[in-house]
Amino acid sequence: MAEKSVSAANGVAVPADDKGRRSTSAFAQMVLSEAIGDSDPTAANEALLETEWRKNYHPHFVAASQAGIASPKDARDIAERGLAAIAENMRFVRNGEDRLLSEVMTESASAPPFDTKVIRATDGPLPTYTVPYRDLNLGGADLRRQLERWVADGVIEVSAAAAVEEVLDNPEWMDLSDLTFVVMGAAAELGPYPALMGLGARVAAIDLPGDRIWERLTGRTGGLSKLLYPTRNGQPGADLTADTPELRDWIGSIDGPIVVGGYAYADGEAHLRVSVAQDALIAAAIDRRPPGSVTVAHLLTPTDCYAIDEPTAEASRRAWTNRPVGLRAVQSGLRTVSGGRLFHQAITECTDGKEGYRSAVFDTLVTEQGPNYALAKRIQKWRAIDLRARGLRVSANVSPSSNTRSVTKNKALAAAYRGAGMFNIEVFEPETTNALMALLLVRDLRTTTGPADPFVELANPLQLFTDAACHGGLWRSPYKTRTALPLAAVRGAFKRSI
């Protein structure tokens, strides 16, 4: 989003050019081009040569997804090359010294270490777990019925309902007393921290220093879960991008197997930097702990681009074909008036990959979120593919669009979300998303049949992201998301005014 004009960076930073400028656009173009590489040399070159990156980044991320469909090897190679480009170029700046982040993360930390504050758990039975939804708390048969309605409405995939029901069929899975979670970005609205507290887990929470943040986090203690968090000079909290080496050591001080999740969010270019910092901490935890003792969890955005399976793609194509004649005429007129920006068909054809994998890329990228956000989320997908190929358990589920603070403070996005219902898109409240996605996380940690288990064979690693997707209806829409959002925003603005 923003460009750093002169090198005033601190902590994790994109590299500076010979004039001291730190351009996230130039960095993202280079990384994406390197990632695509030999899988599609033409697309790799086009990403590098794009002159209006902020405006036209979308097709290049789509091309990177498309290139991974060809074969499992292509999907893995793209992830490996993308992560290598990050490691070979991302910097860490401290006390005026600008060095490779990957080198800094192999050396002793130069700042004072963090202490650990512990708030112990209390005794008692596991609470009844429910999913809050429209003034109801859904559990058991009520939750199963709601899952059926969401599937029927195209809000979640059948595999998502089946995954939640697997947890409901195995209630003992909800006892998390055998697990330790490192939750980076613990105060994130859509992270699992609220759900984890009280279910018996040991939770190591990382978030920025600040009284309001830690009052909110520590206010959830008093249940069955034990809370650990970093402190320095008696003050709780740490900065993922500025304290990265010290947090590496703090995470290293936690004994036993761990589940590491990256949930931190920031605006603009800061989100790219915090995503890189989280990824570096994940990589360090894996390198420094016994093999197989780290599980990685990410929460993926529905507003990206994904290689969706053929039945879902066909649902989108049918929705396009079955539009009433009158609606087609109106949309055609609006498309003409808008200069071709409105109502593009989402899916025109599927692509055949190797080993029977047939897929289509659904482009749900949203311009307002920007290329830094897109790259930040792509890094998470690359790491998930890479780690699963190395035999690690990985949870990487697509969550529904939600009315988080980061959305509602953007007037255009907030209006589009309010009007999304006109396109059969359901936008969730954060507490619903939080509870629902936590159930999918539990399933990924326990299952021996789902893609999170690295021993479950997939035709293509990209299936890791389409299984159990809760996309809110975006993937079954007939339209590319950003070509329908402007009209949804108009509807949303009208809804607010009445």
Tell me how crowded residue 224 is: count the other CB atoms within 10 A of its CB: 19
Q: What is the mean pLDDT of residues 401-413?
A: 82
Report if residue 478 sits inside a domain: yes
Around 353, how many Cα atoms within 13 Å sit in the side-chain half-sphere? 28
Supply the pLDDT for residue 497.
47
Sign of the C-alpha dihedral computed for residues 316, 166, 421 and 489 taken in this order:
negative
Around 57, how many Cα atoms within 13 Å sit in the side-chain half-sphere? 27
The amino acid that residue 440 corresponds to is L
Report if residue 2 sits inside a domain: no
Share of the chain above pLDDT 90, in %: 82
Query: Burial code of 288-310, b = ≥16 C-beta within 10 A, e = fewer?
Result: ebeeeebbbbbbbbbbbbbbbbe
- Model confidence at 496, pLDDT cuts 50, 70, 90, reads low
Over the stretch 197-212, which tens digit does the pLDDT of each residue have?
A: 889 899 999 999 999 9
Report if residue 231 sits inside a domain: no
Distance CA 441, CA 302 (A): 16
Top pLDDT among 237 and 19 is at 237
Most confident of 150-159, 364-373, 416-425: 150-159
Residue 137: give the domain boundaries.
Answer: 127-170+305-363+393-498
Over the stretch 226-269, which tens digit does the pLDDT of each residue have?
A: 999 999 999 999 999 999 999 999 999 999 999 999 999 998 89
Distance CA 477, CA 491 (A): 17
Q: What is the mean pLDDT of residues 341-367?
A: 92
Report if residue 105 sits inside a domain: no
Distance CA 261, CA 484 (A): 32
At residue 4, does pLDDT exceed 70? Answer: no
Supply the pLDDT for residue 317.
95
Distance CA 203, CA 221 (A): 10
Q: What is the mean pLDDT of residues 352-373?
A: 91
At residue 5, does pLDDT exceed 50? Answer: no
Give the mean pLDDT of the chain: 93
At residue 466, does pLDDT exceed 50? Answer: yes
Among 2-16, 181-195, 422-436, name the one with the lowest average pLDDT: 2-16
Q: Which residue has the tokens 């206010």?
A: 219
* pTM of the predicted structure, to 2 decimals: 0.94
Supply the pLDDT for residue 2.
39
Report if residue 268 sits inside a domain: no
Report if residue 40 sits inside a domain: no
Domain count along the chain: 1
At residue 186, does pLDDT exceed 70? Answer: yes
Supply the pLDDT for residue 419.
86
Closest by alpha carbon to 275, among 429, 482, 67, 101? 101
At residue 7, does pLDDT exceed 60? Answer: no
Q: What is the mean pLDDT of residues 192-199?
A: 90
- Model confidence at 6, pLDDT cuts 50, 70, 90, reads very low
Q: What are the CB-based long-range contacts (under 8 Å, 24+) for 407-416?
A: 410/368, 412/368, 412/489, 413/366, 413/368, 413/369, 414/492, 415/488, 415/489, 415/490, 415/492, 415/493, 415/496, 416/485, 416/486, 416/488, 416/489, 416/492
At residue 94, does pLDDT exceed 60? Answer: yes
Phi, psi of 303 (to 5 degrees): -95, 70
At residue 394, does pLDDT exceed 80? Answer: yes
Q: What is the mean pLDDT of residues 430-439?
A: 96
3-state secondary structure of 13: strand
Supply the pLDDT for residue 495.
66
- Model confidence at 356, pLDDT cuts 50, 70, 90, reads confident
Report if residue 388 sits inside a domain: no
